[in-house]
């Protein structure tokens, strides 16, 4: 799990996903595969295992043009959103509010060992 890091850093998260920190607010999770999905900046914490990836994110507004999809934030840049990726199927759920994230965790049987502590 990552809470804080230095600039120009990448970490392999498995399943073709990687965390990228290019300094400042550009901290995101991308996939090497074209249809793998992504979590846009600014990722503030994440955890993962061989099957799943979870992340906390505060949107960087306006959103950078480098992302393929335009993400709609429900409340703005001061709100923390939750994300869930099912690596095997490249399913990306987010931005989610906490109650939506809890339901997604139950639906996909995300282990309790994946957390933001």
What are the structure tokens assigned to 65, written together?
């043009």
Is the pLDDT confidence value at 105 over 60? yes
Total domain count, the chain: 1
Is the pLDDT confidence value at 39 over 70? yes
* 3 domain residue, yes or no: no
Q: Region 30-39: what's the mean pLDDT?
A: 88
Give the domain range for residue 68.
9-107
Q: Are 68 and 61 in contact (CB under 8 A)?
A: no
pTM for the full predicted model: 0.82
* 112 domain residue, yes or no: no
* 114 domain residue, yes or no: no
Q: What is the pLDDT of residues 7-25, one digit of tens each?
A: 588 999 999 999 999 888 8
Is the pLDDT confidence value at 57 over 50? yes
31: CB partners within 8 A, 6+ apart: 15, 16, 17, 18, 37, 38, 90
């Amino acid at each position: 799990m990552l809470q804080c890091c230095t600039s120009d850093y990448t970490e392999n998260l498995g399943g073709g996903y990687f965390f990228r920190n290019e300094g400042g607010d550009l901290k995101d999770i991308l996939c090497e595969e074209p249809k793998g999905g992504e979590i846009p900046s600014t990722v503030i914490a994440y955890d993962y295992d061989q099957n799943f990836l979870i992340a906390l994110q505060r949107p960087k507004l306006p959103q950078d043009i480098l992302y393929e999809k335009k993400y709609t934030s429900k409340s703005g840049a001061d709100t923390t959103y939750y994300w869930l990726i099912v690596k095997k199927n490249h399913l990306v759920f987010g931005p989610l509010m906490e109650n939506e994230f809890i339901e997604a965790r139950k639906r996909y049987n995300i282990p309790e060992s994946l957390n933001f502590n």
